[in-house]
Amino acid sequence: MLQRWLPILDWAPHYNREQLGGDLLAAVIVTLMLIPQSLAYAMLAGLPAQAGLYASMAPLVAYAVFGSSRTLAVGPTAVTSLLTAAAISQVAAEGTLAYWQAALVLALMSGLILVILGALRLGFLINFMSHPVISGFITASALLIIASQVKHLLGISASGATLPALLHDLASNLGHTNAFTVVIGFGALFFLLWTRRRLKPRLLAIGLSPRLADAIGKAAPVMAVIVTTVAVWVFDLGARGVAIVGVVPGGLPDFTLPPLDAALWQHLLVPALLISVVGFVESVSVGQTLAAKRRQRVDPNQELVALGGSNMAAAFSGGMPITGGFSRSVVNFDAGAQTPAAGVYTAVGIALATLLFTPALHYLPQATLAATIIVAVSSLIDLQTLRRTWHYSRFDFSVVLITLLATLGAGVEAGLIAGVATSIALYLFRSSRPHVAIIGQVPGTEHFRNVLRHEVNTSEHVLGVRIDESLYFANARFLEDCINEAVAKQPKLAHVVLNCTAINAIDASALESLETIAERLQEAGIRLHLSEVKGPVMDRLNSTHFLQQLTGEVFLTHYQAVQTLAPESLG
């Protein structure tokens, strides 16, 4: 029982020197990557730079205790930072204490929601976030994030929660572009793009080991931070209009208590729920993908508890909402992390950087952090999904497109809600009009297939009907109409056999429809039969009076039904 709730008890007693070496190396690489990312994501959320560093310490330790993934790396991410900014900008002005306190409340509420869902084993509810919704939302969020960071690359002011608003503000303020900021911002951007694509192959070509080349490549953002910070300090570019981070308090975070303001909590409830859902889906997707490569297992319900505990740790240590990050988790995995202890060592590295190097961050240009964010989120843009879903499913394409356009045009919260609502509405519509086939025997076999697709044997006295969907309130009347229409076309019909091979459940409304169908057929001198009824469905039917009142029989196979009712039609 303890191991289920505290996975650390599963791996910690067997921790060995080999695992220590892999975890330490991974921690060094992830720390180098996480320092500039933490600063950048705090800026994206509109919070002080130290909030990103604080959110990369205590939450990592909490996840090591409660997390079921051996390699998932938690911390601030681009999407959660964007959602955080969108939520708390509605209740407080950026740069104020109230703004930061609202972020702490958001982290605490998100943590509580996740822990409650995990304790109740309700991880399955997250399945209502379909892949098209997530794909469209993340792509749109990445585009919004990139658009929101262009102002830092140009050294101008621009605001807006939607893409049209951001583009309008950017166009209106282009005349105030700062040339020094442009050089630093775009210089850092091109450098980071070049190192991501070209640096590792060049290092491998000169004989470096793959692991060392990869580590140097991952440290590229740190190089950009150092070079641009030194440039701003040496040439005093802050006095020439280049926006800098400014004072970053040193030392470890103090204990923080989010304000217990009922009105604030009520206002942030929906955003907290959205952050919880999006963060959990992203984390579990990454965690399960990495775990499968090592034949390990990630428990979704335990991940709810772990991410909830990590967010609560962020709330009480001056941080911000966090989740499992895709890029840093992959880096953690590739660097050789063996256990969640790598996250603890990473937290120690971030703590040391906070204690020793925060004064050096004073002259760090915001343009460099913006370039770091743009490069990090560029990999999240997947416009090809529109082409793929268009060719595969128009329903899924419409979900992706609506989510994408709603997020860009109305904001992240509205976009996510619109996507979920659209996917559920389309599912209900699709399942309310399921595929229904008239089936006949494939000659020389015991198989029955759609008469419109195959050359099959049929009988004018027996009608075989297969419905490819579970029966419930939304499609029960549709089945009635289909059978009535088919019966009307066969005047010599004596038997209708409903093939139930694809029916996994029958609700009360559908049961009443089946009773109605049986009664109408009986009045017309036709018997209703069932074939290939699944065990769980049969158990439910046995608990009712339907089978006793059924005019026909229940056959084990459809072949057996036709063999009994119309053997002359078999070939």
Quote the pLDDT of residue 55. 96
What pLDDT digit, counting tens, does each position of 77-91 carry?
999 999 999 999 999
pLDDT score, position 57: 96
pLDDT of 91 = 93
pTM of the model: 0.83
CATH number of 436-569: 3.30.750.24
Per this entry, what is the length of the chain?
Answer: 571
Q: What percent of the chain has pLDDT over 70?
A: 99
Provide the mean pLDDT of the chain.
Answer: 91
Say if residues 71 and 333 touch (Cβ distance below 8 Å).
yes
pLDDT value, residue 74? 95
Burial 439-472 (b: 16+ CB within 10 A, else e): bbbeeeeeebbeeeeeebbbbeebbbbbbebbbb
- Alpha helices, DSSP H only, in 198-299? 200-205, 210-218, 220-235, 262-293
Report which secondary-structure segment, H or E, holds 145.
Answer: helix 131-154
pLDDT tens-digit profile of 376-434? 888 889 889 899 999 999 889 999 999 999 999 998 888 988 998 999 899 889 889 99
What's the mean pLDDT in 2-23? 88
Q: Judge contact between 288 and 298, C-beta under 8 A.
A: yes
The residue among 431 and 219 whose pLDDT is bigger is 431
Residue 325: what are its φ and ψ, rounded to 5°?
-90, 140
The whole-angstrom separation of Cα 261 and Cα 275 is: 20
With a cut of 90, say whether residue 503 has pLDDT above it: yes
For position 188, what pLDDT does the model report?
94
Q: With the CA atoms of 517, 521, 523 and 529 taken in that order, what torsion angle do they form, in degrees rounded to the nearest 10?
A: -100
Please tell me the predicted confidence (pLDDT) of residue 497.
Answer: 96
Mean pLDDT of 365-378: 92
pLDDT tens, 179-211? 999 999 999 999 999 998 888 888 888 888 887
What mean pLDDT do residues 360-364 have? Answer: 91
What pLDDT score does 122 carry? Answer: 81
- Kindly report, residue by residue over 239-280, the tens digit of the pLDDT: 999 999 988 888 899 999 999 999 999 999 999 999 998 899
Instruction: Return the SS3 of 497.
Output: strand
E-strand ranges in 41-112 read 74-75
Under DSSP, is residue 117 helix (H, G, I), strand (E, B) or coil? helix
Mean pLDDT computed over 470-499: 93
Beta strands at 554-555 and 527-531: parallel, antiparallel or unpaired: parallel
Q: Which two tokens stand for residue 228?
A: 């641009």
Domain ranges of the chain: 2-404, 436-569
The rounded Cα 269 to chain-centroid distance in angstroms is 19
Report CA-CA distances (Å) from 134 to 79, 131, 279, 394, 561. Answer: 11, 5, 11, 17, 45
If you average pLDDT over residues 26-52, what whole number do you get? 91
Instruction: Report which residue type is found at 529.
Output: H
Mean pLDDT within 494-515: 95
Rounded mean pLDDT of 457-486? 93
Q: What ranges in 318-361 are assigned the alpha helix state H?
A: 326-334, 341-356
> Over the stretch 448-471, which tens digit does the pLDDT of each residue have?
999 999 999 999 999 999 999 999
Could you report how far apart the first and last alpha carbons of the chain are, in Å? Answer: 60
Among 14-18, 329-333, 559-563, where is mean pLDDT lowest?
A: 329-333
Residue 1 has pLDDT above 70, yes or no: no
Question: Based on C-alpha coordinates, what's the Rg of the chain?
Answer: 30
Instruction: Say how far residue 92 (Cα) sits from the centre of its chain.
Output: 28
